[in-house]
Amino acid sequence: DHTIADARRKYSGFLKSYPGASENRSVTNRTFFARSRYDENLYLGYFALRERTNVVLTCNASVCNAETLHKVALATKKRLPSFIKN
């Protein structure tokens, strides 16, 4: 996004679009976790302030669990600066 305000608005939109999403601070200060209606998919989204970027990861529950998705999110956060040009 062009501005931090734009990225914050987008994060709020993402948060509202995942029913039952719960916010936490496990990846960044603005992180959410959600499950699909029948627990088929797991979602983890976070707002990376410095990069003005939102990341949403999705994983089918048959492939990964919440802990694995969290580990993937931490790895993407660590590598994100090398992919983003401010």
Global pTM exceeds 0.85: yes
51 burial via Cβ count (<10 Å: 0-12, 13-18, 19+): middle
The answer on pLDDT for 85 being more than 60 is yes
Please tell me the predicted confidence (pLDDT) of residue 1: 80
**What is the pLDDT confidence band of residue 15, given thresholds at 50, 70 and 90?**
very high
The answer on pLDDT for 86 being more than 70 is no
Task: Report d(CA 19, CA 36) in Å as an integer.
Answer: 8
The 10s digit of each residue's pLDDT in 31-83 is: 999 999 888 999 999 999 999 999 999 999 999 999 999 999 999 999 998 88
